[in-house]
Structure 1
Amino acid sequence: MHAFPCGTLALDFVGTLRARRDPEPREMLADGPALDAWFVEAGVIGEAPAAGRTELERAIELREAIYDCALARLQGHGLPSAAVGVLNRWAGSAPVRLMLDDASTRREGSAANGLATVARNAVELFGGDDAALLRECGRPGCTQVYVDRSRGGRREWCSMRTCGNRVKAAQFRARHRDAPASASA
């Protein structure tokens, strides 16, 4: 259901609003159960925390603050103070608890603990060296922001399996569609 191509928890969380510049972006966090599913699929919390409307509203506020910071970094601007305030408030909250069971770990917590964990990841990202590696996906329509850790820093897409494959397939179709027309000219 959810995608995780970005290289960080915080940016994958931003990706829960797809095609954000479209007239009707695709909201992946439509309700509390969708937020619960994201936490579990992302490995933030082991069991769905039963998020409600309030937690969903807070999650969307945090997501948009993370995006505002990412956009500012992409554009070479300073971080917006309102967004930084939201990140710092959440990052100062208690994160998900890690528990050891025999030879494995278990992650426990509420939706608020999950949001604190995401916020801490965002603070580390925007305050660290990886902030210089932020890129936006090169596929038209995709607004996913990712960390480009590729050798040479030349990654173009949030994910080769999705956006990269779509761009390359479209280029291939265009070349083959145009080839007969140019051969007969």
Structure 2
Amino acid sequence: MRHAFPGGTPALDFSGTLRFRHRVEPQEDLDSPESLGCWFRECGITERDIPCGAADLREAVTLREAIHRLVAARMSGEVYDRDALALVNEHARQPTPVPQLTETGRHVEATVGQALACVARDAVGVLGDPDVPLKECAAPDCSQIFVDRSRGARREWCAMDPCGNRIKAAAYRARKRVSGQGERRRVR
């Protein structure tokens, strides 16, 4: 898989395609129209990559940033940005992909607009439910938002690999340094 899906929902995973937002230079996962088409397939919206153009990519990035602004506002208790809200709702009103039954099983084809509508409707579902627990990954350089469905809502990282593993390994090394057990002894 080219893309990561640690958010627990397509809208949060889509928002997370601009990774490491806290860095001076975040990492863009939607770096080409082809990567957008691939994202739709890997997310499960369609079975095949959707052919996308440069205008489709610009539209998708605009929707992604609107979703991210709304998610950030929800998490900080701020009022939703009106333009972001209008854009997400505009996309959510559009038709979504329609699954078809074929002789070989289920088949879903979609246009870029239908796929974006699917993501926007998911954002409406996630942000419209006050009981959906949203968290930002505790790894210092990660900015992924995820739904915390863990028992007791104790999940800290978007995913164990790589974020949780890095934090746990760093904590282990720090404990070893403090206790003096991190030093290797020479055997003669």
The TM-score with structure 1 as length reference comes to: 0.93
- Which structure is larger by alpha-carbon Rg, 1 or 2? 2
- Describe the SS at the equivalent of 2:151: coil
1:3-44 superposed Cα distances (whole Å, 9 cap, x missing partner): 011110100011100001211100000110010111111111
Large movers: runs of 4+ above 6 Å: none
User: Where does 1:38-49 land on structure 2 (aligned, <5 Å)?
Assistant: 38-49=39-50
Give the whole-Å Cα distance in 2 for the aligned partners of 1:60 and 1:123. Answer: 17
Structure 2 equivalent of residue 135 of structure 1? 135
Contact 2:176–2:182, Cα closer than 8 Å, also in 1: no
The alignment status of 1:37 with 2:31, answered yes or no, reads no
Q: Distance in 1 between matches of 2:62 and 2:116?
A: 10
Structure 2 residue aligned with 1:151: 151
Match of 2:186 in 1: none
Question: How do 1:3-18 residues align onto structure 2 when only pairs under 5 Å count?
Answer: 3-18=4-19
CA distance in 1, matches of 2:28, 2:76: 24
Contact kept? 2:139, 2:164, Cα under 8 Å: yes
For 1:112 and 1:25, how far apart are their aligned partners in 2? Answer: 26
1:164 matched residue in structure 2: 164
Which residue in the other structure is 1:52 paired with?
A: 53
Mapped to 1, the partners of 2:107 and 2:174 lie a distance apart of 49
Aligned-partner SS, 1:2: coil
Superposed CA offset, 1:41-71 (max 9, x none)? 1111111111010000000001001100110
Native 8 Å contact 2:38 2:50 kept in 1: no
CA distance in 1, matches of 2:21, 2:102: 40
Deviation at 1:130, TM superposition (A): 4.2
TM-score computed with the length of structure 2 as normaliser = 0.91
Q: In structure 2, do the counterparts of structure 1 residues 130 and 146 end up closer, same or farther at CA, with 3 Å as the change threshold?
A: farther
What do you get for the CA RMSD once the two structures are aligned? 1.7
Match of 1:177 in 2: 177
Query: For structure 1, which runs of at least 5 residues remain unmatched after alignment?
Result: none
Q: How many residue pairs are counted as aligned between the two chains?
A: 182
Identity %: 43
